[in-house]
């Protein structure tokens, strides 16, 4: 059975068991959880660098965005292999869209903050153009997914095509991992070699490792389902 279909069946089962699906309440819950996560990530940055600038805020928002999108994407893989996260699958759409909201904030900050001026010249230098291209591609994919994440769009394009579109999210996710790892990798390597001034890893590295788990679990899912269903 395709993973997205199994995820949808689990959502349906959850609703039939009488678990709450008050959409408005779920949005509020997700926004509140995201703010709690924002505070936790900010605390981590503060402990690590003890300074707080506009650039720090931009990085925190970016990390939060990719974390939420990543959790939303990983849920279908996790719920395919295990049952422990089934009760969270109903939040998948809300989590992804709140993540897209923070993504938009990150993009706005990345264009208006003086650290990244002049726009777009800053991004078009040899050292940044690849990372920027990956960022733009990721943005387009996540924006399309966001637009297609409503009941009307699902009905219009049909559930099968919609499930395929949702899988494109992993390509957008991979672009994003490249987007920020190309800048972070030299610093992360120093940390792995024990040559970094900081004892704890940068939060970007933690997010990157989580991102690899998201992609890894999706590959495991493809392998596990490839023989059962050719189109997964």
**Percent helix / strand / coil, the chain, rounded to 5:** 80, 0, 20
Residues with Cβ within 8 Å of 59's Cβ and at least 6 positions away in sequence, in order, are 45, 203, 204
Handedness of CA 166, 168, 170, 172 (dihedral sign): negative
Cβ count within 10 A of residue 59: 22
> Which C-beta is closer to ligand HEM: that of 89 or that of 100?
100
**72 near ligand HEM, rule: CB under 6 A:** no
CA distances from 150 to 84, 88, 142, 162 (A): 26, 18, 14, 10
Between 11 and 64, whose beta carbon lies closer to ligand HEM?
Answer: 64
- In the bound complex, what is the minimum distance in angstroms from residue 110's beta carbon to ligand HEM? 4
45 or 80, CB closer to ligand HEM?
A: 45
Determine if 75 is a binding residue for ligand HEM (CB under 6 A): no
Q: If binding is defined by CB under 6 A, does position 103 make contact with ligand HEM?
A: yes
What minimum distance in Å lies between the beta carbon of 50 and ligand HEM?
16
To the nearest whole angstrom, how small is the minimum distance from the Cβ of residue 2 to ligand HEM? Answer: 25
DSSP H helical ranges for 50-158: 54-81, 92-112, 129-147, 151-157
Q: Which residue is nearest to ligand HEM (CB)?
A: 204
Shorter beta-carbon distance to ligand HEM: residue 33 or 44? 44
Name the residue nearer to ligand HEM (CB basis): 69 or 232.
69
Which listed residue (65, 72, 76, 149) binds ligand HEM by CB under 6 A? 65
Is 101 a residue that touches ligand HEM (CB under 6 A)?
A: no
Residue ranges in 114-153 that form contacts with ligand HEM under rule CB under 6 A:
116, 123, 135-136, 138-139, 142
| Contact in structure between 232 and 222 (CB atoms under 8 Å) | yes
Q: Which of 63, 23, 78 is nearest to 216 (CA)?
A: 78
List binders of ligand HEM among 177-216 (CB under 6 A).
179-180, 183, 203-204, 207
Residues 6+ apart with CB under 8 A from 187: 196, 202, 205
CA-CA distance, 106 to 143, in Å (whole number)?
14
Residue 61 interacts with ligand HEM (CB under 6 A): yes or no: no
Question: Which residues of the shown chain bind ligand HEM in the complex (CB under 6 A)?
Answer: 55, 58-59, 62-63, 65-66, 69, 103, 106-107, 110, 116, 123, 135-136, 138-139, 142, 176, 179-180, 183, 203-204, 207
């Amino acid at each position: 059975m395709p993973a997205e279909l199994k995820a949808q069946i689990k959502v349906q089962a959850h609703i039939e068991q009488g678990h709450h699906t008050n959409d408005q309440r779920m949005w509020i819950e997700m926004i509140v959880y995201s703010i709690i996560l924002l505070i936790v990530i900010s605390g981590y940055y503060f402990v690590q660098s003890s300074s707080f600038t506009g650039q720090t805020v931009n990085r925190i928002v970016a990390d939060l965005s990719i974390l939420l999108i990543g959790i939303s994407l990983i849920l279908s893989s996790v719920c395919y292999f295990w049952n422990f996260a089934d009760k969270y699958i109903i939040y998948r759409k809300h989590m992804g869209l709140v993540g897209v909201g923070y993504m938009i904030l990150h993009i706005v900050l990345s264009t208006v903050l003086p650290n990244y001026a002049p726009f777009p010249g800053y991004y078009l230098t040899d050292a940044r153009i690849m990372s920027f291209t990956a960022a733009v591609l990721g943005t387009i994919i996540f924006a399309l997914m966001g637009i297609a994440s409503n009941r009307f769009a699902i009905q219009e394009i049909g559930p099968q095509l919609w499930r395929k579109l949702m899988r494109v999210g992993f390509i957008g996710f991979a672009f994003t991992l490249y987007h920020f790892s190309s800048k972070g990798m030299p610093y992360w390597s120093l940390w792995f070699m024990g040559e970094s001034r900081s004892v704890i890893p940068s939060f970007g590295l933690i997010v990157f490792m989580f991102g690899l788990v998201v992609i890894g679990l999706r590959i495991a899912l493809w392998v596990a389902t490839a023989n059962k269903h050719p189109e997964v």
